[in-house]
Amino acid sequence: MKIPKRLEPLIEEGLVDEVLRQLMSGKEASVYVVRCGEEVRCAKVYKDANRRSFRQSVQYTEGRRVKNSRRARAMEKGTRYGRQEREEAWQNAEVAALYRLAEAGVRVPQPYHFHLGVLLMELVTDENGSAAPRLNDLALSPELAREYHRGLIAEVVRMLCAGMVHGDLSEYNVLVGAGGPVIIDLPQAMDAAGNNSAEMMLERDVDNLTSYFGRFAPELRTTDYGKEIWALFKRGELLPGTALTGCFARSLKPADVAGVVQEIGAVISEEAARQQYKQSR
């Protein structure tokens, strides 16, 4: 096939020997099957920001640090340079997340290189060696739905133990390879400790999985793994392999509104007395 312009530098650098075919084109990137020496891999070519439909939300980028103060100011002001830097940081976030999660044993594609906006990584294949299908393209038996759900919940836990939340996990971001489900598409992955939306995003990820697998195994819809996982994480009790129940005991005790109002009133009174004392001196 004709070599896409964005892949030409990788061929010139010797990172890619041949472009075999286009695998898919999505909202933020196009993916190609390429040959690198004796191995077949995939190349994720990120689209320019003005050609993508996905918008970077502060919910995803909150807590991401930019060491260079000039870059940080430009990104905050939204200058042309700042938009370019923000786009590069968005792409780098996926690369960093893949390396971090692969090292932690999470089932994600193995990354190899990131060069000029192109990510070279493992091509996830099925038992026949063909490109693995997305989860949403499969019809599942109840037994297989339960198995995949259990496995992906374990991956969510392993990811959180590595300090990360996917943030956009659903049946569209999971490939089913020869060894089972593999999680993909991670540019929006967030730091669990540094992002105020992490709890909400984790629960949404789990709810998305539960809703999908619940189509094939309806009893899964009654589970509440998201809140259980986050509660264990907050208490410092979550580990890979932690036995989960799928249940979460919500407090039924009514809020002590009167007590809260009383506490607020006491604080206001103390502050008023403090200010009066300062003025009288």
Task: Count Cβ atoms below 10 Å from residue 154 Cβ, excluding itself.
Answer: 16
User: Active-site residues: which are they?
Assistant: 168, 185
> Can you list the pairs that 242-245 forms with residues at least 24 positions away whose Cβ atoms lie under 8 Å?
242/157, 244/153, 244/157
Instruction: Give the list of residues 6+ apart from residue 6 with CB closer than 8 angstroms, or none.
Output: 45, 116, 117, 118
Q: What residues have CB less than 8 Å from 93, skipping those under 6 apart? A: 64, 186, 187, 188, 189
Residue closest to 44 by CA, chosen among 119, 135, 123? 119
User: What H or E segment, with its residue span, contains residue 187?
Assistant: none
Give the Cα separation of 226 and 138 in Å (integer): 24
Residues 86, 187 contacting (CB under 8 angstroms)? no
Exposure letters 116-132 (e unless 16+ CB within 10 A, then b): ebbbbbbbbeeeeeebb
- Write the burial class of residue 104 (CB in 10 Å: 0-12 exposed, 13-18 middle, 19+ buried): middle
